Every structure is written in structure tokens, then in C-alpha cells.
Amino acid sequence: MQWDWGAVADFMPHFWDGLLVTLQALALGSVISFVLGLVWALLMRAPSRFVRWPVGAVTEFIRNTPLLVQLFFLFYVLPEWNITFSALTTGVVAIGLHYSTYTMQVYRAGIEAVPVGQWEAATALNLPPRRTWTAVILPQAVRRVVPALGNYVIAMLKDTPMLMAITVLDMLGEARLFAQQNFQFTEPLTVIGVAFILISYLASVLLRALERRLVR
Amino acid sequence: MTSGLWELVLQGIWVTVQLLVLSALVATAVSFVVGVARTHRLWIVRFLAGFYTEVFRGTSALIMIFWVFFVLPPAFGWQLVPMWAGTLALGLTYGAYGAEIVRGALGAVDPAQREGGIALSFTPWQRMRLILLPQAVPEMIPPFSNLLVELLKGTALVSVMGMGDLAFSGNLVRLALQESAEIYTYILLIYFVIAFLLTRVMRGLERQLKAGVGKAPRKTGTPPRRAPEGADAVKVGGGA
């Protein structure tokens, strides 16, 4: 096995470009999944089953089908309907949508974990439903679920390489491009592999620190 | 869609199912070996098993697949058939997630059971085989069921390497028809049906295993058990 440090040095500029795209996709994907997941979770508590049932079915479907095929779907089908996004935007939307079906369950667990007494107190104080949610229930529920949401950010990080399949030049995309141009596969692929391990390890350390701060 | 194209999709389903079964077998073997090793009394064995889980849970499944396809061949001078390369990459990655499930479930067995085994002077291996595993395995089934669905979703990744699985056959049909909404809807539906069948089978398996250790749901009067740690502690969701 021959290892060429020169190839590593040549790859590094591309690596930083790729890292930037990966982190962008991760940040935007997280925001979409956090917001949309909360929307799903609230819709699942709607009084009418004509809201609950379709939302449940759609999210179950998205959760149980591969993200890769969903990426292809959005990337190839949306232009047929005359909706054109850049590849990165499509990827961000797909990741955010896919993971919102996971975060939705996290929020649900958080909302259910708020003690019944809090609901009763809100009723006793004659708070309108809107204020019950925004001032009483959600602040307590969201605080509880931040660590679980963080786990899904790490999971999302590990799914960003899939964006390569729809021509986004994230870390894996850059590595593949470099490998094909220079016929050196070992170095770039190993560099990004190690980078992923380091980033997800750092992220989990940060998360544990955050968890200690919040759960007190 | 013509019948020829449907045949392509059928072949894709067959490849996906083969890959799913093989990599599930590898992943199960890995998760039990590594998960049990994490409870070993020698620290070096525990450390190595922990290192394995951290590394393989830290990388993305897609990068592992690239690695097995492109880095292993020049490094060792041999190349795996695509099916085995895919099986290896998926089995090792998802096995690391499974190892956490096994560890969590073993840790959730009542400590008195282990102590009972020591009191009866069972060897560590007998304790594991006769006392701990029979009680831990039924608790592992629900998280394993989730992991199996994640693995099914992960099998789609091999299409990036040009293996003719279900996702790849979808791409071929799209190129043939120059029309994508229909075929990708079918492909997503097929994946959904497979995932649905898998969860059903696993639920049946859970019921049977629980009945085997006297924890059948119809029996009443038994004290409520603690939820297994593995059920929540495992951060599934990655890799697919």
C-alpha cells in the first residue's frame, strides 16, 4: 500500500471547499428539519383526524423510504414540473424533509413528557391555546429534547455525502472529482473518512456539554 | 412502462433483497460479537470493541462503500465482487449501530440474574449463553427492527457504485423513458412495502421470543419491567 503525502497536500484546498458545502448543507438541513418537525408534531395533535391521518401517512412514508431515492425524485421530477432549484438547495430540502419525520417523533416525546399539571394550570389560568403552547408547553418540551435533536444533526452529517449523487460538490463529491482527475483514490477518500470521524466525535462531545447545561 | 422495463425493476428488487439479507446477516454477527465484547472483563477487549463502534458509527455508510470499492483493491491487491463489497461495507457500518443495541440490552438485564449465575458457578460464557442472552434478545428486537429499516434504506447507496439494485433500476428506467415522476414514485412505494413487511415480520418475531422467556403480553401479574436502555440510548437514523 503506497501512501502519497503530496496527493494529500494537493487535495487539501478542495477538501476545505467541500467541508464548507457539507457544513452549509448540514446547517440549513437542520433548520428545515427542526422547524418542519415541529409543524408535523403539532399537526399530529390536531383535533381532526382528517389532518392527523394524512400527516401520519406522509411522514411514515418519507421515514421508511431511502433518502437517496428521495433526492433523485426531487432532483429529476421538480424540473419536470417547472420548479428549478440548484442542486444544493434540492439536497438541503430533501435532507430537511427526510429528517423532519424523525425530529417530529422527538418533539412528540418532548410534548408528552410535559407534566399534566402544566396543562391544567394553563387551563386554570384561562390562557388561550396559543399562549398555552408558546409560553407553557413548548419552552419545557423543547428544552428536554435538545440532546435528542442533536443526535439527529450528527446522523444528518453522515447523510450529507449522498448529495454527491445529485452533483453537489460536498466533501465526498470533491474527493471523487479529485480522485478521478488524478487517479489517486486512497488519499482523498481516507482524508474525508478521517475528517468525518473527527467531526462527528467533536459534535458528540459538544452535544454532551450542551446536555449537561440544559438538563439541570 | 413496458414489460421489459418492469423486468429491470424486478431484477433490481431481487438485488436489493439479496443485499439486504446478506448485509443483515453480517451486521447481526458483528453486532453480537462486538456488543458482547464490550462487556468483556479484559479492558483491552472492551477498548477495541468500543474503538470499532466509534469509528464505524463516526463515518458515513456511503464513504465506507467508496472505501471498500476504491481503496481496498489497490491496498491489498484483491478486489471483491460488487455484491460482497456492498455487503461488507453495509454489514460493518450497521453492525456498529447494532453493537450498541446489544450492549444496551445486555446492560438492562436485571443484575440479580448475573449474580445468580455467579452463585451457581457458571463460567462467563455459560452465563452469557444461558442466562443473559435469552433474556436480552427479546428486548433487542424493536430497536433491531428500526435498524433493519435503516439498513434497507442504506442498500440504496450501492446504486452510486453502479450496482443494479432497485434505486439503480429506477435511474435506468428514467433514462429510457425520459420521464421521472412515475418511476420514482413506484420505486419509493416498493421500498415502503418492503420496509412495512420487515417491521411486520420483526413484530411477529418479538412476540414469539417474548413468549419463549415467559414474557408473553397475555400473561398478567408479572411486575412491570424496566425499559431496555438500548431502546432509547441507540442513536439510529444515521447512514441511510
User: Per the domain annotation, does B222 fall within a domain?
Assistant: no
**Does residue B120 sit at the A interface (CB-CB below 8 Å)?**
no
User: Per the domain annotation, does B225 fall within a domain?
Assistant: no
* A17-169: CATH topology: MetI-like fold (1.10.3720)
Total number of domains in chain B: 1
Asked if pLDDT for residue A169 goes beyond 90, the answer is no
pLDDT at B76: 77
CATH number at residue B172: 1.10.3720.10
User: Per the domain annotation, does B156 fall within a domain?
Assistant: yes
CB-side exposure of B42: number of CA atoms within 13 Å? 5
- Write the pLDDT tens digit of every residue in A64-108: 999 999 999 999 888 888 888 888 999 999 999 999 999 999 999
- Write the pLDDT tens digit of every residue in A14-73: 888 889 999 999 999 999 999 999 999 999 988 888 999 999 999 999 999 999 999 999
Cβ–Cβ below 8 Å for B195 and A185: no
Domain parsing of chain A, residue ranges = 17-169
Domain around B35: 3-217
Angle at B205 between CA B202 and CA B206, to 5 degrees: 90
For chain B, residues with pLDDT lower than 50 are 219-224, 226-240
pLDDT at B238: 41
Chain A residues close to B155, C-beta within 8 Å: 66
User: Per the domain annotation, does B233 fall within a domain?
Assistant: no
**Does residue B186 sit at the A interface (CB-CB below 8 Å)?**
no
**Does residue B240 sit at the A interface (CB-CB below 8 Å)?**
yes
CA A154 centroid distance within chain: 8
Asked if pLDDT for residue A199 goes beyond 80, the answer is yes
Residue with cell 452549509: A24
